[in-house]
Amino acid sequence: MKVVALISGGKDSCYNMMQCVAAGHRIVALANLRPAHTDELDSYMYQTVGHQAIELYADAMDLPLYRRTIQGSSLDTSRNYRETEGDEVEDLYQLLHLVKEKEGVEAVSVGAILSDYQRVRVENVCLRLGLQPLAYLWRRDQESLLSEMISSDLHAILIKVAAFGLDPEKHLGKPLADMEPYLKQLSQKYGVHICGEGGEYETFTLDCPLFKKKIVIDGAETVIHSADAFAPVGYLRFTKMHTESKDTDVVARALPHGSCPCQNAIDKMTEEVEYADQAEDNQHEFSSNCDLSCQWGHDVSPSCSLRSSGGYQWICGINGLQSQDSGIQGQTSVAFIQLQRELDSRGWKMKDIVLVHLYVKNMEDFVELNAVYKKHFDINPPARVCVQVPLPAGQLLQMDCLLHDWTEPLADGCFNEREALHVQSLSHWAPANIGPYSQALRINDVVFCSGQIALVPCKMELVKAATYTQTRLSFSHMKKVLEAVIGSLTLAHVVQAHCYTTRHQDIQIIRAVWESMLRATEGEKDLRKL
């Protein structure tokens, strides 16, 4: 894809560009938001220290640079951003809108590592503009990531410090490679984020494999922003700088072979010998001998469970058989009319749905179905499991919906907490959303997860491997999703799991992998106790 890279000058935005090139994308433009008057803007979103040297990026990479002055401020600081006039996020929208018009870009490179705040806002803007966010650093292990950056010939210096153990007089201007051992010490002793994700420090990149010229800082002055006795805050103001041709002809190159974290993880999921032959044999789909009328019944009317003491209720059997249009979009539209009628009759709203089991007759209808489905949900839609099954003749879909009354206070008087994990960026972490659903939805201490299949996250393609590896990869995605919702969650906390397979003979393999991963989880717990 043609990519515009959001750059701050820091190591993260630069290294994410390198990851984009390694993934086969093409950087065609750079974009940056700058402060109106001061060096250091009090922004929740943007790094502005070092903005004086950003213009040199265009020369160093021989690419057009689009810049916009930040006019807004941090107005909507909630977990879920909505379009807000006067917010600094709207400056980003205007900037990327211009770049899309001028350069025809399809995707945006963003260097977010751990900040949901930043990711959510960039994804909001990208969704509105029809652009794909690329966040290849998202939720990477920070220690290994920092080492990887340095070993990949990314040369950066510290230009701001704001943490216990970091001194403006000692550490500003120091190369990141020289600071790595000390940053590891601070991380171990005081919990400092080794990549600076907590705002402990900021960097400016002087050179990397994508640069055709390197940036040279000729003059800089130290500005003390806060002379705190324990954690002084200071930054560098560049006063003189230039670009300089490299000694050799350097052109943009991908990262070294084997540096893709997705592929590295898959390579480690080696096939177990006792299952390998079985997994490759009998590639035909398993067909059940059960009568479909026995499986699905003849009653096409929706059914409803009793509402539980915890406020949960199932509404099942939603379908579009009453549609005059026999196509998938017609049946989906009628299904939602039927669902709304069921909700209204029981005092529910669409926003009360936390999980949808969606059964389709043909997965090739996925895109057309989603076009209708997404119209009925706002930001942070419910989790969803979508499976192709042999539905009765004429029926193209069925929905079973779980609802929760989250507006009623709990027994102790506290209100329910509701939080969604809805990651739409391509990354090495886990598959991005390919439909209008959240990866997970948390209601208090209960987490509902969407279905996972064995996709290679950075490519969003099904891994070419046998059952064992597909199973390991699917469960690995689920593990990462749980950790992202609540850091202490593991597969051992799962109380109910549904696993769908196209071949009956694979069930034994799947169970063995599940049990193996549970044992590994228990082993990790024991190690943490030591």
pLDDT(198) > 60: yes
Tokens 């009623």 correspond to 408
Q: Where are the beta strands (DSSP E) in 70-149?
A: 107-109, 132-134
How many whole angstroms separate alpha carbon 366 and alpha carbon 361?
10
Residue 242 host element (H or E): strand 233-245
What pLDDT score was predicted for residue 413?
56
For residue 306, the cross-strand partners are none
CA 323 to chain centre: 37
Q: What is the pLDDT of residue 225?
A: 86
> Quick one: pLDDT at residue 229?
75
How far is it, in rounded angstroms, from Cα 369 to Cα 150?
45
The mean predicted confidence, pLDDT, of the chain is 88
Instruction: Give me the residue label for tokens 């997860």.
Output: 449
Sign, Cα dihedral of 163, 169, 173, 175: negative
Residue whose pair of structure tokens reads 């490679």 in the numeric block:
177
pLDDT score at 214? 95
- From 89, 81, 80, select the one nearest 6 (Cα to Cα): 89
| Structure-derived torsion over alpha carbons of residues 147, 152, 154, 157, reported in degrees to the nearest 10 | 20
Query: Residue 271 pLDDT more than 70?
Result: no
CB atoms within 10 A of CB 148: 18
**Who's near 161: CB < 8 A, 6+ residues apart?**
167, 168, 171, 172, 200, 201, 232, 233, 234, 235
Residues 195, 197: Cα–Cα separation, whole Å = 6
Q: Give the pLDDT of residue 292.
A: 46
5: closest CA among 264, 163, 211? Answer: 211
> How many Å separate Cα 498 from the centre of its chain?
23
Tell me the average pLDDT across 214-237.
90
At 149, list the tokens: 């950056």
pLDDT of residue 525: 62
DSSP notation for 289-318: -S-HHHHH-S--S-EEPPPPTTSEEEEEEE
Structure tokens at 288: 């059940």
Beta bridge partner(s), residue 156: 205
In tens, the pLDDT along 115-132 reads: 899 999 999 999 999 999
* Residue 189, burial from CB neighbour count under 10 angstroms (0-12, 13-18, 19+): exposed
CA atoms within 13 A on the CB side of 504: 4
What proportions of the chain, in percent to the nearest 5, are helix, strand and coil? 35, 20, 45
Model confidence pTM above 0.85: yes
Q: Measured between alpha carbons, how far is 396 from 363 in angstroms, rounded to an integer? A: 10
pLDDT at residue 458 in the model: 95
* Per-residue confidence (pLDDT) for residue 263, from 0 to 100: 84
What is the model's pLDDT at position 279?
45
Is the confidence at residue 492, as pLDDT, over 50? Answer: yes
Higher-pLDDT residue of 246, 289: 246
Tell me the per-residue pLDDT of 24-74, one tens digit each, with 9 for 90 and over: 999 999 999 988 776 554 555 666 666 788 999 999 999 999 999 999 999
Report whether 113 contacts 139 (CB < 8 A).
yes
> Which pLDDT score, from 0 to 100, does residue 51 have?
76
Is residue 519 over pLDDT 50?
Answer: yes
Q: What is the pLDDT of residues 394-426, one digit of tens each?
A: 999 999 999 998 776 665 656 678 899 999 999
